[in-house]
Amino acid sequence: MIIHDTDPAAYPWQVVETSWSGKQIDLKRDDMGKSRIKVEAWITSEVAEDLFSEANLDLNTLKQEALKGTFNM
Protein backbone atom coordinates (compact mmCIF):
# COMPACT_ATOMS: atom_id res chain seq x y z
CA MET A 1 0.00 0.00 0.00
CA ILE A 2 1.29 3.41 -0.93
CA ILE A 3 -0.02 6.26 1.18
CA HIS A 4 0.34 9.48 -0.74
CA ASP A 5 1.50 12.42 1.34
CA THR A 6 1.86 15.56 -0.79
CA ASP A 7 4.66 17.27 1.17
CA PRO A 8 7.30 14.52 0.97
CA ALA A 9 6.12 13.42 -2.47
CA ALA A 10 6.44 17.01 -3.77
CA TYR A 11 3.47 16.55 -6.08
CA PRO A 12 -0.28 16.63 -5.46
CA TRP A 13 -2.66 13.67 -5.51
CA GLN A 14 -3.98 14.90 -8.87
CA VAL A 15 -0.72 13.76 -10.49
CA VAL A 16 -1.37 10.20 -9.31
CA GLU A 17 -4.97 10.31 -10.52
CA THR A 18 -4.11 11.54 -14.00
CA SER A 19 -0.89 9.63 -14.65
CA TRP A 20 -2.08 6.09 -13.99
CA SER A 21 -4.38 5.73 -16.97
CA GLY A 22 -4.26 3.11 -19.67
CA LYS A 23 -2.77 -0.35 -19.50
CA GLN A 24 -0.34 -1.20 -16.73
CA ILE A 25 2.32 -3.84 -17.32
CA ASP A 26 3.81 -6.38 -14.96
CA LEU A 27 6.41 -9.11 -14.96
CA LYS A 28 5.49 -12.45 -16.48
CA ARG A 29 5.28 -14.95 -13.65
CA ASP A 30 5.40 -18.72 -13.83
CA ASP A 31 2.56 -18.95 -11.30
CA MET A 32 0.35 -16.59 -13.37
CA GLY A 33 0.32 -14.01 -10.57
CA LYS A 34 -0.74 -16.30 -7.73
CA SER A 35 2.24 -15.13 -5.66
CA ARG A 36 1.23 -11.48 -5.96
CA ILE A 37 -0.02 -9.62 -2.95
CA LYS A 38 -3.82 -9.86 -2.67
CA VAL A 39 -4.43 -6.12 -2.48
CA GLU A 40 -2.50 -3.25 -4.01
CA ALA A 41 -3.45 0.34 -3.27
CA TRP A 42 -2.29 3.92 -3.66
CA ILE A 43 -4.43 6.12 -1.44
CA THR A 44 -4.40 9.63 -0.02
CA SER A 45 -3.21 10.21 3.52
CA GLU A 46 -6.74 11.31 4.45
CA VAL A 47 -8.23 8.03 3.22
CA ALA A 48 -5.47 6.11 5.02
CA GLU A 49 -6.20 7.89 8.29
CA ASP A 50 -9.90 6.98 8.01
CA LEU A 51 -9.14 3.39 7.00
CA PHE A 52 -6.68 2.81 9.83
CA SER A 53 -8.98 4.49 12.33
CA GLU A 54 -11.84 2.18 11.32
CA ALA A 55 -9.50 -0.75 12.00
CA ASN A 56 -8.62 0.71 15.44
CA LEU A 57 -5.03 1.31 14.30
CA ASP A 58 -2.97 4.46 14.73
CA LEU A 59 -1.47 5.42 11.38
CA ASN A 60 1.22 7.68 12.83
CA THR A 61 2.44 4.99 15.21
CA LEU A 62 2.58 2.45 12.40
CA LYS A 63 4.45 4.93 10.17
CA GLN A 64 7.10 5.32 12.87
CA GLU A 65 7.41 1.53 13.17
CA ALA A 66 7.73 1.20 9.39
CA LEU A 67 10.56 3.74 9.34
CA LYS A 68 12.60 1.51 11.66
CA GLY A 69 12.94 -1.10 8.93
CA THR A 70 11.77 -3.96 11.12
CA PHE A 71 8.06 -3.37 10.62
CA ASN A 72 5.93 -6.50 10.46
CA MET A 73 2.20 -6.53 10.87
pLDDT value of position 73: 67
Which amino acid belongs to residue 44?
T
Angstrom CA distances, 56 to 50, 59, 63, 72, stand at 10, 9, 15, 17
Instruction: Judge whether 26 lies within some domain.
Output: no
- Enclosing domain of residue 55: 1-16+37-73
Residue 27: pLDDT above 90? no
Please state, for a pLDDT cut of 90, what percent of the chain lies above it.
49
Instruction: Judge whether 22 lies within some domain.
Output: no
Instruction: Judge whether 10 lies within some domain.
Output: yes
Higher pLDDT, 13 or 26: 13
Instruction: Judge whether 31 lies within some domain.
Output: no
Question: Is the dihedral angle over the CA atoms 68, 73, 34, 47 positive or is it negative?
Answer: negative
Residue 14: pLDDT above 80? yes
Higher pLDDT, 43 or 36: 43
Q: What is the mean pLDDT of the chain?
A: 89
**Which SS3 state, helix, strand or coil, does residue 27 take?**
coil
